[in-house]
């Protein structure tokens, strides 16, 4: 089936403080697929995601969303097209969790009916398992609870493109899986999902394609099996690994511990 591009990134360079943080990246993000961005700390994953959201300035190259350069989008149109979950789930005022989720409907004020708002909010609450938290102040939540409430806000926004920066970082095993199942279900109905992940096994199990970033460059993009070779993971992360098939058929990536215990970098 012909997948249409949500984003087309060509020759992207992002500079922060005089340094190229993202260098010459070409990448397509298509509807109906989960794309995982992986790479070591400081590789430029969050900066690349920020260029897609429109929050990080583009020094060179081109980022197009639905065929239009990002600079030509109004803030309101962007908010109706792409939803963003950043690492810092910062809400400093004591909003309740319910109020935080309702913020996801702000771009649709005057555009959607109240019935659509209610349905979107209810579905987001159910999918993120936060019904029991709704009356609590967001500021009083644990890191994992904040992450799930923030994801609910993103889901309530009901956009065709969903950009998630390390949505699983603060979560326990079950909720990590649930977030990635939600990401897969969004792709299944034709949305484009980009997710920054640290866990290579989670990326292999839940992403259609993986883009591996190192030193600001795109070193590989393709299926999990194409990208996650032991040689490439070792060269990018500086640690020997086994890449093995799990009983369910997905690849898992684990350190070669006998080796890594004795070898100093």
Domains and CATH numbers, the chain: 5-225 (3.40.50.300)
Q: Is the pLDDT of residue 155 over 90?
A: yes
Structure confidence by residue, pLDDT tens digits, 65-107: 999 999 999 999 999 999 999 876 666 678 999 999 999 998 8
Structure confidence by residue, pLDDT tens digits, 114-144: 789 999 999 999 999 999 999 999 999 988 8
**Would you call 264 exposed, middle or buried from its count of C-beta atoms within 10 A (0-12, 13-18, 19+)?**
exposed
Percent of the residues in the chain that have a pLDDT greater than 90, as a whole number:
79
Task: Measure the CA–CA gap between 216 and 207, rounded to whole angstroms.
Answer: 21
Smallest CA-to-CA distance from 138 within 83, 84, 101, 178 is with: 101
**pLDDT given for residue 257 in this prediction:** 84
Question: 63 vs 175, which has greater pLDDT?
Answer: 63
Mapping DSSP to helix (H, G, I), strand (E, B) and coil, where does residue 151 land? helix
**pLDDT given for residue 206 in this prediction:** 95
Q: Is the pLDDT of residue 260 over 60?
A: no
**pLDDT given for residue 262 in this prediction:** 55
Percent of the residues in the chain that have a pLDDT greater than 70, as a whole number:
95
Q: Which residues of 56-79 are buried (b: 16+ CB within 10 A; e: fewer)?
A: bebeebebbbbeeebeebeeeebb
Give Cβ neighbours of residue 241 (< 8 Å, ≥ 6 apart).
230, 233, 234, 253, 254, 255, 256
Smallest CA-to-CA distance from 169 within 197, 204, 140, 138 is with: 197
Q: Is the pLDDT of residue 28 over 70?
A: yes
Least confident segment among 42-46, 164-168, 178-182, 261-265: 261-265
Helix ranges (H only) for the chain are 45-53, 75-81, 97-102, 114-128, 143-156, 173-188, 200-206, 224-227, 230-237, 257-260
Q: How many other C-beta atoms are found inside a 10 Å radius of the C-beta of residue 14? A: 23
**pLDDT given for residue 1 in this prediction:** 45
Q: Is the pLDDT of residue 58 over 70?
A: yes
Task: Measure the CA–CA gap between 193 and 31, rounded to whole angstroms.
Answer: 8
**pLDDT given for residue 261 in this prediction:** 57
The mean pLDDT of the chain is 91
Stated pTM of the model: 0.91
Name the one residue in this structure whose structure tokens are 């992360």. Answer: 237
Structure confidence by residue, pLDDT tens digits, 190-240: 999 999 999 999 999 999 999 999 999 999 999 999 999 999 999 999 999
Angle of helix 114-128 relative to helix 173-188, nearest 10 degrees? Answer: 140
- List the structure tokens of 204: 């292999």
Of the chain, the end-to-end C-alpha distance in Å amounts to 45
């Amino acid at each position: 089936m012909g997948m249409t591009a949500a984003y087309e990134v060509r020759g992207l360079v992002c500079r922060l403080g005089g340094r190229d943080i993202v260098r010459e990246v070409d990448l397509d993000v298509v509807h109906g697929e989960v794309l995982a961005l992986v790479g070591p700390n400081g590789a430029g994953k969050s900066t690349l995601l920020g260029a897609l959201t429109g929050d990080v300035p583009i020094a060179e190259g081109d980022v197009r969303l639905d065929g239009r350069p990002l600079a030509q989008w109004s803030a309101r149109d962007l908010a109706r097209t792409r939803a963003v979950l950043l690492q810092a789930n910062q809400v400093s005022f004591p909003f309740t969790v319910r109020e935080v989720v309702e913020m996801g409907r702000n771009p649709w004020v005057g555009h959607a009916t109240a019935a659509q708002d209610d349905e979107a909010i209810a579905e987001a609450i159910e999918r993120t398992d936060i019904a029991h938290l709704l009356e609590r102040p967001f500021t009083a939540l644990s890191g994992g609870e904040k992450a799930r409430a923030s994801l609910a806000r993103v889901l309530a926004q009901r956009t065709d493109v969903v950009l998630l920066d390390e949505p699983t970082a603060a979560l326990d095993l079950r909720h990590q899986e649930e977030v990635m199942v939600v990401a897969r279900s969004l792709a299944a109905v034709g949305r484009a999902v980009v997710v920054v992940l640290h866990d290579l096994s989670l990326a292999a199990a839940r992403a259609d394609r993986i883009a591996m970033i190192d030193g600001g460059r795109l070193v590989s993009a393709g299926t999990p099996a194409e990208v996650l070779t032991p040689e490439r993971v070792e060269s990018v992360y500086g640690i020997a690994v086994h890449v093995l098939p799990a009983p369910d058929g997905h690849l898992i990536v684990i350190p070669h511990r006998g080796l890594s215990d004795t070898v100093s970098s």
